[in-house]
Amino acid sequence: MKKWALLGLSLSVALLAACSNQVGSEEPTIVTTFYPVYEFTKEIAGDEANVELLIEAGTEVHGYEPSAKAIATIEDADAFVYANENMETWVHELEENLEKSKSDVKVISATEGMLLLPGSDDHDHDHAHGEDGHTHEYDPHVWVSPYRAVKMVEAIRDQLIEAYPEDKDAFTKNAEAYLKELEALDQEYTDTLSQAKQKSFVTQHAAFNYLALDYGLTQVSVSGLTPEAEPSATRLAELSEYIKENGIKYIYFEETASSAVAETLAKETGVETAVLNPLESLTAEAMKAGETYISTAEANLEALKLTTETEGPEIQPEEAVDTKTVYNGYFEDSDVADRELSDYAGDWQSVYPYLLDGTFDQVWDYKAKKSNGTMTAAEYKDYYDIGYKTDVEQIKIDGDTMEFFVDGKGHKNTYKYVGYEILTYKKGNRGVRFLFEATNEDAGDYKYVQFSDHNIAPVKTGHFHIYFGSDSQEKLLEEMDNWPTYYPTGMDSFEIAQEMLAH
């Protein structure tokens, strides 16, 4: 439970301290949350700032809640750098209180402007096996992939320069040197893993989705395995069967995992265990020995080679993911029901301008990598350019009216519902279009309207694809390539892109 009752007291005390401690200080103090954020920031800042690590080595970062002392440390700093609110879930409330207190602490997100993958059970704790788990709306483990570590360093650099423009040259030079090392690491990963004979690797901690995505691998996480507690006899039997069926040679644990757990698993199932470090923290001993993000990531690559350099079949998850969902176009005719225009009520914006201005480029990059070479990012962009293309920048739907805006000019008509049509696509999946027709004769290009939003029964939609024209409903039903898409006007372009990625 968060103990934010302490926050008000710490705010007043720490702000007084901040005023006194920062007077006469020649270099800013920057507090960072956990290890990779600390190293990235320290490498950029160099001698221009005092960089501190808030979450000490060996601390579980996911479950961390700041004490009053930790909050005071942040408030006494000049800047505060964290990864993202899906990792440091307490930051949003902290920012609100900093704003209320008119604090001048500069808050920097290392993943500013980066889209995140949909979240999951972070440690894959399975309630069926008696574990309590926690979830993230979006996967926060961006730093595990060297490719994305580069993006994080660039984001921190740019925000530090904005905060301290007088240090721009030093920050730029320091970042350039460090980025060369990270880019070399990224290239090493690419060169090594592009030759993988076995692309699936099995983990206890589901922290490696970004690494898998960026380097053409597949992470398979095993539920009910914690680094501290030995699995039950029943679970061991299940794991033994699963390991045998899939020919699994290694299961990767965190470095902090109990040796007893690994030994039990090896003895009872015949599988070997190896270490993959999620890089959330380094032990005090490792830091004293000079270990770094880069050296630890290199050790991870060596560990992965135990699997990737050995031929093997594609490993399947223990529980198959059902992809034949209504959203993906699989349903019974009897499940389809009539809908009203109220399902689409609201003020909607076209997403086409965001495709044109590059906002969605990260979406195409993710899609291309998930397709395993089926389509490039440029090909995805071209495909969606045709799909999203429209000159209708806004649609307002209220009651039985729809108003289409082109170049700021509205075209408003009243509409009646005239039924639905079920369409079957080339891939074998299906979709439903809900049909509306203008009741006034002068509706022109907006006489016939069809909605498609992946829903097949009455529900308030979150976004929709729309088809409209002046010829007939039958003519619109033939259109398969152009499906202008609309999201609420209250969402900004980044929020829309993030929502798209989640689906």
pLDDT at 287: 86
pLDDT at 125: 34
For the cut 90, the answer to whether the pLDDT of residue 180 exceeds it is: yes
- Measure CA 427 to chain center: 28
- pLDDT tens figures, 111-135: 999 999 987 644 333 333 333 344 5
pLDDT at 292: 95
Confidence of residue 15 (pLDDT cuts 50, 70, 90): very low
pLDDT at 24: 43
Share of the chain above pLDDT 70, in %: 89
Map out the domains of the chain as residue ranges: 5-113+144-185, 333-502
pLDDT at 502: 81
pLDDT at 224: 67
Mean pLDDT score of the chain, rounded to an integer? Answer: 89
- pLDDT tens figures, 210-235: 999 999 999 998 876 666 667 788 88
Instruction: Provide the CATH number for the domain formed by 333-502 in this structure.
Output: 2.40.128.20
User: In the chain, how long is the greatest CA-to-CA distance?
Assistant: 80
Angle at alpha carbon of residue 430, lines to 425 and 434, rounded to 5°: 110
pLDDT at 22: 44
Tell the CATH topology of 5-113+144-185: Rossmann fold (3.40.50)
For the cut 90, the answer to whether the pLDDT of residue 11 exceeds it is: no
For the cut 70, the answer to whether the pLDDT of residue 162 exceeds it is: yes
Confidence of residue 13 (pLDDT cuts 50, 70, 90): very low
> Higher pLDDT residue, 367 or 11?
367
| Residue found by looking up tokens 């033939």 in the block | 478
The Cβ of residue 378 has, within 10 Å, a number of other Cβ atoms equal to 11
d(CA 456, CA 466): 15
- pLDDT tens figures, 236-284: 888 888 888 888 999 898 876 666 777 788 888 888 989 999 999 888 8
pLDDT at 227: 65
Residue of 233, 211, 216 whose CA lies nearest to 224: 233
Share of the chain above pLDDT 90, in %: 68
Is 90 strand, coil or helix? coil
d(CA 101, CA 9): 11
Average pLDDT of the residues in 467-482:
97
Is 81 strand, coil or helix? strand
Average pLDDT of the residues in 297-310:
96
422 contacts: CB under 8 Å, gap ≥ 6: 333, 336, 430, 431, 432
Average pLDDT of the residues in 334-362:
97
pLDDT at 313: 81
pLDDT at 480: 95
Q: How many CA atoms lie within 13 A of 104 on its CB side?
A: 9
- pLDDT tens figures, 32-61: 999 999 999 999 999 999 999 999 877 778
**Between the CA of residue 208 and those of 43, 196, 464, what are the distances in Å?**
24, 16, 33
Provide the pairing of β-strand 464-469 with 485-488. Answer: antiparallel
Residue of 182, 140, 146, 184 whose CA lies nearest to 44: 182
Examine domains 5-113+144-185 and 333-502 and report if their fold is the same: no
> Higher pLDDT residue, 139 or 235?
139
pLDDT at 133: 42
Locate 333 and state its tokens: 């005719």
